[in-house]
Amino acid sequence: MDLLGDPAGDAPEAIRMDGRAVSRADLFARAAAVAAEIGGAEAVAVHAVPTVETVVAVVGGILAGVPVVPLPPDSGPAERDHILGDSGARLLLAARDAWDPADGGPPLVPVDALPSGTSAPPSPRPPDDATALILYTSGTTGAPKGVQISRAAIAAGLDALAEAWKWTAGDVLVHGLPLFHVHGLVLGVLGALRVGSPLVHTGRPRPAAYAAAADEHGGSLFFGVPTVWSRVCEDAASAEALRRARLLVSGSAPLPVPVFDRLAELTGHRPVERYGMTETLITVSARADGDRRPGHVGTPLPGVETRLAADDGSPVPFDGETPGELQVRAPMLFSGYLGRPEATAAAYTPDGWFRTGDIAVIGPDGWHRIVGRASTDLIKSGGYRIGAGEVENALLAHPAVREAAVVGTPHPDLGEQVTAYVVADGVAGQELIDFVAERLSAHKRPRVVHLVDALPRNAMGKVVKSRLGEGAGKSA
């Protein structure tokens, strides 16, 4: 089976998005026109707003065998320029009115202005090991890295999830997640197309929109990040509507146990949790027909191997108590960081296991529980993974800032919020928040800035982030 299944499927509606419904045949016909336009390009960027044109553009890139680089619509100039330059994208795909030429970038291909082509995919079909997507993920230091994901990796990951979640063409998938990450794009769009299930994208993941999709469109499979499910729990009427669903899936960050319990009480569904990264796609999950345990992310998917390692590399037992770094081997792993062979090599152990950087506990029965991050520099806020180093670099670009350290601190809705400790002269905290928001994606801006006289450092001069809250100064 091709990555996206049969282009001529008989579903009258493949995608419902931004108030429009598109059949599978029409979607692939429009995508074929895109494929004809971009064939041979080194890579193409897609302005990843939640519209039909974005899906057409991504599918067109996959049909053409051209790597697709989703561009977050809220990217600041520095982040956008880095992604476009680092990826080698030679064209930008977007609707005619969705991209401001003043923002620069490569030549625009107006997806909505192309005549529909044939629904037949280009020939020959791209090889399975060809890169389908280049997704940019925030590292803990420096600029984001391009994660190359092959067609074979995507197919393996989606097939494993379809088996685990009993996901079939008879489902109607509902979500309102961004289309530039694994959760919303790979699982939430490509997964629906590969399985053949219609997708209803709600634009934003609001509880009332999820409830309406359950009532009006027969939504049976719902995706959300913990923030979404937390908000559903605050809206009893919307939660009641989700009793009609078959499965609720939570991911991108740990689901707090109280939210798990409250969601089960209000909807009648114990949510399925799963674990993965941009580099690995989804490797561990609970099952639709199995147990679902609060605070746990399940067991390895078919074809996935996991192990725990101590700081010295020695094995950690699966005793349900001893933590270790989670390492994985799987067919859905990435092909490497674009243009960064040294970073790619460093991400693997000498014997070929991927180092996730997450700390986990595994029980004798194989159930996994993620207990923390090997580093304090990856912040999970509202389902996003945010690299502290990237935000620190943005703060340090302000002429008044002398030092900056960024951490995640608890937030009742987002899970974690971006909190900055800054040594600066003559500048207010809100000005620094706005300064970062102008340069990076809006969700990466600090929500709190503490202006301090100095940052705590050890004898080697390294900031001790565990002591950042001691004696914090004025906040904004």
- At 283, which CATH number? 3.40.50.12780
Examine the domain organization and report whether 327 and 406 are in the same domain.
no
Cα dihedral 181→182→186→189 (10° resolution) = -50
Confidence of residue 471 (pLDDT cuts 50, 70, 90): low
- Please tell me the distance from the alpha carbon of residue 7 to that of residue 310, in angstroms, as a whole number: 47
On whether residue 373 sits in a domain, the answer given is: no
Name the more confident of 220 and 118: 220
Based on the domain organization, do 252 and 357 belong to the same domain?
yes
Q: What is the residue-averaged pLDDT of the chain?
A: 91
Is residue 407 assigned to a domain?
yes
Chain segment 404-415, per-residue pLDDT in tens: 989 999 999 999
Domain boundary among 362, 390, 420: 362
Residue type, 363: G
Q: Indicate if 288 and 404 belong to the same structural domain.
A: no
Q: Measured between alpha carbons, how far is 405 from 352 in angstroms, rounded to an integer?
A: 33
Residue 182 lies in a domain: yes
- Residue predicted with more confidence, 436 or 12: 436
Tell me, yes or no, whether 327 and 430 share the same domain.
no
Contact 441, 435 (CB under 8 A): no
**Of all residues in the chain, what percent carry a pLDDT higher than 70?**
92
* Residues 168, 297 within the same domain: yes
Residue 140 has pLDDT above 70, yes or no: no
Beta strand pairing status for 299-300 and 305-309?
Answer: unpaired
Better-scored residue on pLDDT, 11 or 331? 331
Last residue of a domain, one of 338, 362, 386: 362
pLDDT at residue 287 tops 70: yes
Predicted local distance difference test score (pLDDT) of residue 462: 66
The better pLDDT of the pair 66, 441 is held by 66
Catalogue the long-range contacts made by 463-466 (C-beta closer than 8 Å, 24 or more residues apart). Answer: 463/405, 465/376, 465/377, 465/405, 465/407, 466/376
Whether 226 and 342 share a structural domain: yes
Looking at the structure, tell me whether residues 348 and 389 fall in a common domain.
Answer: no
Q: How do 305-309 and 324-329 pair as beta strands? A: antiparallel
Q: How far is 219 from 214, CA to CA, in rounded Å?
A: 4
How many domains in the chain? Answer: 2
pLDDT band at residue 383, thresholds of 50, 70 and 90?
Answer: confident
Sheet holding 247-250, edge to edge: 20-22, 15-17, 199-201, 173-175, 221-224, 247-250, 272-277, 281-285, 299-300
Instruction: Answer whether residue 10 is part of any domain.
Output: no
Through-space distance between the first and last CA atoms of the chain, rounded to whole angstroms: 54
**Per-residue confidence (pLDDT) for residue 48, from 0 to 100:** 95
- How high is the pLDDT of residue 260? 93
Q: Are residues 215 and 130 in the same domain?
A: yes
Owning domain of residue 431: 378-467
What pLDDT, on a 0 to 100 scale, did the predictor assign at position 459? 47
At residue 460, does pLDDT exceed 50? no
Residues 179 and 297 in one domain: yes
DSSP-assigned beta bridge partners for residue 175: 201
434 found inside a domain: yes
CATH number at residue 454: 3.30.300.30
Return the pLDDT at 158.
Answer: 98
Same domain, 224 and 298: yes
Residues 192 and 309 in one domain: yes
- Candidates 257, 199, 200, 208; CA nearest to 228 is 208
Residue 416 lies in a domain: yes
Among residues 332, 362, 392, the one where a domain terminates is 362
Q: Is residue 143 part of a domain?
A: yes
Please tell me the pTM assigned to this model. 0.83
Tokens matching residue 468: 């950042």
- Report yes or no on 475 lying in a domain: no
421 and 344 within one domain: no
